[in-house]
A and B are shown apart, each in its own frame.
Chain A
């Protein structure tokens, strides 16, 4: 890309001390793109399999309920809750609130805890219903 090399660049990732807000930020990107690829291919596969008939659905179900299938689905559910909650955090920040150092740090640490709790609650409900 054409760029003027004489322009100053802002200091990049390497010079900052890592903090919870940075982790939340990059996790928002990772989870969003994970859901966008693996998650949505899974959903469309599921719908296509139902539309195509019992054999296709059977194949889908075998994959979804294999150990790897469960691992992927549990991972995707955590990805969703994490992305959802850091997305809600975005809405708060968009309004100009929540930038005070302590507030920002606290919420950045609370969000992964909340999404883990939501994931555990979800799968506890699912497995409790099953067995």
Chain B
């Protein structure tokens, strides 16, 4: 293996030198998830109803739309980092690994964009009535 040497790094066999940042970002986003997902669960349970009108009106409130969008950013970022580690462990073929990380990026960015767009549409088209 080329760990540490210049040519090894060029070939992608050594340390990519992003490990500590990856590890820290996993922890920062974990704290974000902890707060925001617990908030979502608590809100869903205490909401008077989960019918279309109630949920739509709830999300239209800026004090809900913003944390909900932040939750999507935090969770999708966290899962992008986390699933990358899982794929690196189990998908050994270099080409397949590259492809799976590519698809993971599509999923994470696409999923977050879809969710945030949905929230924005609900928030900007206002409360139904």
Contacts and interface: CB of A to CB of B under 8 A. Distances in A.
Interface stretch (A8-16, A17-25, A47-55, A104-112): A47-55
Nearest to A36: B79
Contact of A43 (B34, B93, B115, B121): B115
A11 B65 CA distance: 50
Contacts of B86: 29, 32-33
Nearest to B123: A51
Question: Mostly helix, strand, loop or mixed at chain A's interface?
Answer: helix
Given A33-B82, A80-B37, A87-B34, A44 B56 contact: no
B1 interface: yes
A54 B128 CA distance: 11
B45 A126 contact: yes
Interface residues of A, number: 33
Given A50-B55, A94-B27, A40 B79 contact: yes
Contacts of A129: 45
Contacts of B115: 43-44, 47-48
Question: Mostly helix, strand, loop or mixed at chain B's interface?
Answer: helix
A44 B114 contact: yes
A50 B83 contact: no
Given A1-B93, A33-B83, A84-B34, A44 B111 contact: yes
Interface of A: 1-4, 29, 32-33, 35-36, 40-41, 43-44, 47-48, 50-51, 54, 57-58, 61, 77, 80, 84, 87-88, 90-91, 94, 122, 125-126, 129
Q: When A and B form their complex, which 8 residue pairs have the shortest distance between CB atoms, in order from nearest? A: A36-B79, A51-B118, A47-B118, A51-B121, A57-B52, A44-B115, A48-B118, A47-B115
